[in-house]
Amino acid sequence: MALSKIHSEDVSNARAECSTTLRPTVPELEALLHTPLPVLDHGFVRVVDYMGDDNSVVQAARVSYGKGTKKVSEDRSLIRYLMRHRHTTPFEMAEIKLHVKLPIFVARQWVRHRTASINEYSARYSVLDKEFYIPSEEQIAAQSSNNKQGRGEILSIEDARFVMHLLKDDAERNYSTYKKLINDPNDNDEYDSTRQSVARELARINLSLNTYTQWYWKTDLHNLLNFLQLRADGHAQYEIRVYAEAILEILKVWTPITYEAFCDYRMHSLTLSRMALEVLKRVLAGETVTEDSSGLTPREWAELDTSFALSRKNSNAS
Amino acid sequence: MALSKIHSEDVSNARAECSTTLRPTVPELEALLHTPLPVLDHGFVRVVDYMGDDNSVVQAARVSYGKGTKKVSEDRSLIRYLMRHRHTTPFEMAEIKLHVKLPIFVARQWVRHRTASINEYSARYSVLDKEFYIPSEEQIAAQSSNNKQGRGEILSIEDARFVMHLLKDDAERNYSTYKKLINDPNDNDEYDSTRQSVARELARINLSLNTYTQWYWKTDLHNLLNFLQLRADGHAQYEIRVYAEAILEILKVWTPITYEAFCDYRMHSLTLSRMALEVLKRVLAGETVTEDSSGLTPREWAELDTSFALSRKNSNAS
Amino acid sequence: MALSKIHSEDVSNARAECSTTLRPTVPELEALLHTPLPVLDHGFVRVVDYMGDDNSVVQAARVSYGKGTKKVSEDRSLIRYLMRHRHTTPFEMAEIKLHVKLPIFVARQWVRHRTASINEYSARYSVLDKEFYIPSEEQIAAQSSNNKQGRGEILSIEDARFVMHLLKDDAERNYSTYKKLINDPNDNDEYDSTRQSVARELARINLSLNTYTQWYWKTDLHNLLNFLQLRADGHAQYEIRVYAEAILEILKVWTPITYEAFCDYRMHSLTLSRMALEVLKRVLAGETVTEDSSGLTPREWAELDTSFALSRKNSNAS
Amino acid sequence: MALSKIHSEDVSNARAECSTTLRPTVPELEALLHTPLPVLDHGFVRVVDYMGDDNSVVQAARVSYGKGTKKVSEDRSLIRYLMRHRHTTPFEMAEIKLHVKLPIFVARQWVRHRTASINEYSARYSVLDKEFYIPSEEQIAAQSSNNKQGRGEILSIEDARFVMHLLKDDAERNYSTYKKLINDPNDNDEYDSTRQSVARELARINLSLNTYTQWYWKTDLHNLLNFLQLRADGHAQYEIRVYAEAILEILKVWTPITYEAFCDYRMHSLTLSRMALEVLKRVLAGETVTEDSSGLTPREWAELDTSFALSRKNSNAS
């Protein structure tokens, strides 16, 4: 694919130009700068540039909250304090720029995170490559069984293959029509000199939503965490979640203390509503609370029960 | 189409519920509230709610710039003054909410206007209707002749019909596959009891970019003007421009003074660069300036010439 | 005070102009529209305009999540579901505009909420009134010893009176110098014909941070909730908290279901970190967990203990 | 002053830590990194960090508009093309972080640029230094003569000195009261053991608006240009304009091609309204246009006349 070739050249060029700088620098992140991390069947994420590190968060917070000492152990405490109390502005002081290749339907979810800068490959000006996302058999089965509209049964291998076949067939036909519409005289295989070519901006409307696009995406650490919390979550669609997971790995390398605090105080935290808080207090005070006496909705009771095994506790108690 | 039916019911319900209010109200806009204005082959724009009017801009500006008198003639002057000097914050004080039905490739351009709120129909949860945009013969021809990649010739009617046929054929096949994947047991025509259904979030990736979606879109008057300046412009793709034009008509009804000022000071204004300004000064001081002596790039000279017929002027002078 | 006079006239005028509208309308909010609610010694909050209601949130969510039925009980469930799962975009679909009079040091905190529109009274163009905030005796407190940012014990009446006296004295002197600098010929009491007047934009720099300013502030319901969560919280400075509390009363009238859900799932919720969650699970499974065995920091243990009386529980258990 | 001391130490530390990086680096900007550039009597601007350069704009644009060749001459053309046609998103791809010390009344104007990240020194936690802005005699005179409320006469040196004296006197008294309220036991000179100290968050309300504060301010290149266009403009208040001018110097070093394009197409451009455009066309077509026959308002005629000497032209013509 043409794009991939350009990239690998870009990557070597970019990785060849080494400079000295007085800016905060993260050697571990430098090691993977510019290199694409593969995601899905044709996608990738690569870090193109960054600004700041864990210490940039600390530095900004110290402007606000006073200076104090500067040991690393205290930096860690400060970052964890900020994360825990949702003091978010210091996390805006670090920035990252990613080059991402992703299916259009994933891009449509991603773009809803508005506090970010984007430059996307434009199919008004350039011709898209013949690359589209086809889910694996396992993914088709897995997602369909989670599907609330589904009937709970898992797709058979035959059915999954049939689905893959249909998706591939349609995507190829759409792409072939797209090329037929563009009818590029420089493209010997496809060119038909008896027909005029159609504007690229119109031809592209025939492509399917699993076609790959790519963009530069730049955001600050705070908004990156918001993105990750939503998109690395189990409720996110698998195809965007794998991008979020790749970025989590980047985060771990870039700002390891922030990463750890984010996991502890946001990703793996649990928020108790006023009502759930009351129930837990009653249980801890020794009371036996059942779904009926909890005052919670069945769904909220079930979720609290899943976290704390309240039913078991009660049955133990009795 | 199912959606259209729901809408017409919604429209009558919404238009039946009349209330009294102490808020600023625009009777001319009330007259078209909730009613869809058709755009493209299946799309529409309709005003669902609004807040404020021309006077809200005036009121906010008067907080900042002092009180003065309150005659309508002075309101007009003040709004024009604000528009001319790009005092934009008072225009943020009015707000509008639109319900829009639009092809996905148009939505992809529209969503890049970040200072707005959006709730889009989700094909993760609901099934999309069988509606896709097929450009008219004239549009296919017109866009292709403007196309810088094109060869300047206009598509023949035969070629345009061939294009329409290809687009329609692919879109229908994609939709039919989509329904086959969803395999809804409540859909007698399509249901195949021997196959499991695929998750909606996966099935939708097979749809083409000309499929219609819909959303609620809410923004303030200032950001609406930014949207209109870019998207009602001749360089915008036809398919989003017709939406911008429909919204311009709404603007004219909602805030007529702002609309007029926007046309005079933004839509139909011309910005001269430092160099173009110098050229015009020289010409007006009686000097004969040619492309060579102008110091402008060929493209910039051509544009200035188009606006002011400098070449003619010079040839007159000689 | 000049400003107050203008306001009361504005209020009666605004409340006199009644229109009919097809927009969603909240009669309870109409009843208090335009009327200033007093805050602090000279400040106020008044609703100038609004767009939408609880149902606007529901309407937007239904576009995304499918249609369902429309009973009020289900609307309430849906709003609570959205609040609980942080599905925030539907809450952006309602908007409110407030006119607020507030001390400059409060405005400096308030303005950090960036997703809002502001038009502030400009002392570059107009002369500020002689109004400044002097805290009441009860509000004057010592620097808190445990909370670095907050207030500790209340000062003795004598000390508090001394503070009030100092603040009043300085503010009056600053204001008197301000008027002397402006040296307005239309102000008979102050005008000195032997001196030139100083630009208003310079004269104002002499005012103290407790001088009152005023602005129009417009935001959407989602961002309003973010403001309220931070500023109605016990850690917020008293002087901005009382504004947040006044706005909470407005919220309760405007969108009562959202208000209730906000209290239950955000204001009075508790977020457990990964570590705190582990501790609670262990305790509920019957284990005796002490500060030492908890793995929490002393501060985090203390907070968890405050919420759930873990120490008491353990001592009961033993 | 304590703050200044900390800074000079910070500066040497920061400038001592040199790293190698694969990121885009601007040696000319590295040379002034961390070093404060003085502004006003006690203020400064210093670059703390940056991301990207002119080439980052080019790189992002090439993702959108296709690849093309890569010569520097073409990079310049591309940046100028983007600036001229207001293709703003590629300019969001570079970022800068500044540490600024500035009077509070300047901070109040600055903070209205919302698309930026800020961490400000908090007087809730820390005690402010005794530093306030006192305008020079020349500034007091100059600003007052521009003052539309003034009587056009220039302040005498005596009057200006009187103003300086009043400002200085009040600021010192306010600061002295501030310290008296804080009543810090570690401050031997001021401490009064018979009185309780007042919470810092309250004591600070007595400070005047010319007191210095400081913050970290981070924004992208596009939003920086918006800031500069408004604040380096002749209509901006002198005290913020000098900060904008200092930042313009930084811009020139950081992104010289963008700087040049910004000057040519934005700072020194002129926007003609629809009506002014018509007038110029008529004049260039040989018609004699007067204020009366122009259809422009007196003010707009005067401005156009100032730019193009239309009156002279007409009198020449006759």
pLDDT tens digits, residue range C69-90?
455 668 999 999 999 999 999 9
Min distance D142 CA to chain B CA atoms (Å)? 22
Can you tell me the mean pLDDT for A140-165? 74
How high is the mean pLDDT of chain D?
A: 90
**How many Å apart are CA A314 and CA A290, to the nearest integer?**
8
Q: What's residue A144's pLDDT?
A: 72
The pLDDT value given to residue D190: 76
Strand segments (E) across D66-200:
95-103, 117-120
Percent of chain B at pLDDT > 90 equals 72
Q: How close B93 gets to chain A, by Cα (Å)?
A: 21
Distance CA A206, CA A202 (A): 8
For residue A13, the model assigns a pLDDT of 82
| Mutant choice from D86, D220, D280 vs B, greatest count of B C-beta within 10 A | D280
- C300 contacts in chain A (CB < 8 Å): 84
pLDDT of B147 reads 57
Q: What is the mean pLDDT of chain C?
A: 90
Query: Is the Cβ pair D64, A119 closer than 8 Å?
Result: yes
Let me know if B248 is exposed, middle or buried by CB neighbors in 10 A (0-12, 13-18, 19+).
middle
pLDDT surpasses 80 at A120: yes
Segment D230-249, tens digit of pLDDT: 999 999 999 999 999 999 99
What are A219-243's pLDDT values in tens digits? Answer: 999 999 999 999 999 999 999 999 9
The predicted pLDDT at position B315 comes to 53
Name the more confident of A213 and D191.
A213
Please give the annotated binding residues of A for dUMP, written as ranges: 109-112, 120-124, 204, 231
pLDDT at B46: 96
Residue B48 CA, chain-centre distance (Å), reads 17
Give the ranges where chain B is alpha helix by DSSP (H).
Answer: 2-16, 27-30, 54-65, 72-84, 104-110, 137-146, 157-182, 200-203, 221-231, 238-254, 256-262, 274-284, 291-294, 298-308, 310-317
Residue D312 has pLDDT above 90, yes or no: no
Query: Mutate which of B151, B200, B205, B211 to disrupt the A interface (most A C-beta within 10 Å)?
Result: B205
Q: What is the pLDDT confidence band of residue A151, given thresholds at 50, 70 and 90? A: very low
The pLDDT of residue B318 is above 50 = no
> pLDDT tens digit string along B83-109?
999 999 999 999 999 999 999 999 999
Structural contact between residues C67 and C184, judged by C-beta atoms closer than 8 angstroms: no
Which residues, in sequence order, are bridge partners of residue C120?
C215
Sequence-distant (6+) residues with CB within 8 A of D21 are: A18, A19, A20, A21, A23, A25, A30
Please choose, from the candidates A59, B189, B62, B235, the residue with its C-alpha nearest in 3D space to the C-alpha of residue C120.
Answer: B62
Q: How sure is the predictor about B219, in pLDDT bands with cuts at 50, 70 and 90?
A: very high
pLDDT cut 70: percent of chain D above it: 90
Identify residue D72 by its one-letter amino acid code.
V
* DSSP H stretches of helix in D255-309: 256-262, 274-284, 291-294, 298-308
Q: Which tokens hold the place of B86? A: 């790009």
Above 50 in pLDDT, residue B270?
yes
* Residues in binding site of D for FAD: 89, 112-114, 120, 220-222, 226
The whole-chain average pLDDT of chain B stands at 90
* Distance from C-alpha of A162 to C-alpha of A165, rounded to nearest angstrom: 5
User: What ipTM goes with this model?
Assistant: 0.93
pLDDT at residue D1, as a whole number: 37
The closest alpha carbon to A108, from B118, B3, B242, B4, belongs to B118
3-state secondary structure of D38: strand
What does pTM read for this prediction? 0.95
Q: Which of A21-30, B3-12, C243-252, D142-151 has the lowest mean pLDDT?
A: D142-151
Residue D16: closest CA among chain A residues belongs to which residue? A22
Residue C184: which pLDDT band, with cuts at 50, 70 and 90?
Answer: confident
Q: Read off the pLDDT of residues C85-121 as tens digits, 9 standing for 90 and up.
A: 999 999 999 999 999 999 999 999 999 999 999 999 9
pLDDT of the residue at A313: 58
pLDDT average, residue stretch A111-128: 93
Q: Is a pLDDT exceeding 80 seen at residue A314?
A: no
Q: Which one of B167, B181, B206 makes the best mutation probe of the A interface by having the most chain A beta carbons within 10 Å?
A: B206
The separation between CA A17 and the C-alpha centre of its own chain, rounded to angstroms, equals: 29
Rounded average pLDDT over B175-203: 88
Q: Which of B75-79, B145-149, B302-306, D120-124 has the lowest mean pLDDT?
A: B145-149
Write out chain C residues lying below 8 Å of D162, CB-based. Answer: 195
pLDDT category at D151 given cuts 50, 70, 90 is very low
CB atoms within 10 A of CB A318: 6
**Distances from the Cα of B145 to the Cαs of B149, B155, C72, D71, in angstroms?**
9, 7, 55, 31
Cross-chain Cβ contact A125/D65 below 8 Å: yes
Closest chain D CA to residue C167: D206
pLDDT band at residue B143, thresholds of 50, 70 and 90? confident
Query: What is the rounded distance in angstroms from the CA atom of residue B68 to the CA atom of residue A306?
Result: 65
Whether the predicted pLDDT of D313 surpasses 80: no
Tell me, what's the pLDDT at C196? Answer: 83
Chain A nearest C-alpha distance from C249 (Å): 19
The pLDDT assigned to C149 comes to: 63
Query: Looking at residue C146, what is its pLDDT?
Result: 57
**pLDDT band at residue C229 under the 50/70/90 scheme:** very high
Put simply, the answer to whether C197 touches D151 (Cβ < 8 Å) is yes
pLDDT at D150: 45
C-alpha–C-alpha distance, residues A82 and A96, integer Å: 20
Task: Check residue D214 and give its pLDDT.
Answer: 95
Q: What does the alpha-carbon distance between residue B246 and residue C43 come to, in Å, rounded to a whole number? A: 43
Better-scored residue on pLDDT, A64 or A254: A254
Among C30, C89, C118, the residue with its CB nearest the CB of B22 is: C30
Of residues D13 and D244, more confidently modeled: D244
Residue D5 pLDDT greater than 60, yes or no = no
pLDDT in tens, D114-141: 999 999 998 888 899 999 999 998 888 7
Helices C72-84, C54-65: crossing angle, 10 deg rounding: 80
Q: Count of alpha carbons within 13 Å of D54, Cβ hemisphere only?
A: 27
pLDDT for D279 equals 97
Residues in chain C whose beta carbon is closer than 8 A to a beta carbon of chain A? Answer: 84, 89, 112, 148, 263-265, 268-275, 277, 280-281, 283-286, 300, 307-310, 313, 316
Name, in order, each residue with C-beta under 8 angstroms of A66's C-beta and a sequence gap of 6 or more: C148, D122, D125, D126
Q: Answer yes or no: are the C-beta atoms of B265 and D277 closer than 8 Å.
A: no
State the DSSP H helix or E strand holding residue C227, giving kind and residue range, or none if neither: helix C221-231
CA distance C175 to C167: 12
The reported pLDDT for the residue numbered D148 is: 54
Q: How confident is the model at residue B9 (pLDDT cuts 50, 70, 90)?
A: confident
C155 vs C115, more confident: C115
Structure confidence at residue D23 (pLDDT)? 97
- According to DSSP, residue A67 is labeled -
Please state, in angstroms and rounded to a whole number, the distance separating the CA atoms of residues A98 and C51. Answer: 38
Q: Give the CA diameter of chain C.
A: 86
How many angstroms separate the CA of residue A17 from the nearest CA in chain D?
6
More confident call, A70 vs D281: D281
Q: Hey, what's the torsion of the CAs at B2, B4, B9, B10, to 10 degrees?
A: 110
Token pair listed for B66: 């002092």
Range with the largest mean pLDDT of A48-52, B188-192, C1-5, D189-193: A48-52
